[in-house]
Amino acid sequence: MAKTPSDAKDAKFVKIQCPDCNNQQILFMKCATKVPCQACGSTLATPTGGKCVLNGQIVEVVE
Ligand SMILES: [Zn+2]
């Protein structure tokens, strides 16, 4: 069963799906720099000083 973003609010790592190319990759929720998609380079997460803002859909909470 898929987790919702609210389930991930305390997660450290999540698997996110790129909205542009549907590539899935794991990223750290408290990223310090922008996280690009490994496949197309689209920005998947933007740091805000604390938890980063995700641009894609969370497909899995890793931890
Ligand atoms: Zn992509």
Cα(63) to centroid(ligand 1), Å: 22
**Residue 21: which domain range?**
5-61
Mean per-residue pLDDT, 44-53: 90
Cα(49) to centroid(ligand 1), Å: 24
- The torsion defined by the Cα of 27, 13, 2 and 34, in degrees rounded to 10, comes to -30
Distances (CA, A) of 18 to 49, 51: 22, 18
pTM (2 d.p.): 0.79
Residue 6, pLDDT score: 58
CATH for 34: 2.20.25.100
Residue 3, pLDDT score: 57
Cα(8) to centroid(ligand 1), Å: 21
For ion ligand 1, residues whose CB falls within 5 Å: 18, 20-21, 23, 37, 39-40, 42
Q: What total of structural domains would you count in the chain?
A: 1
Residue 19, pLDDT score: 96
| Tens-digit pLDDT profile for residues 12-46 | 999 999 999 999 999 999 999 999 999 999 999 99
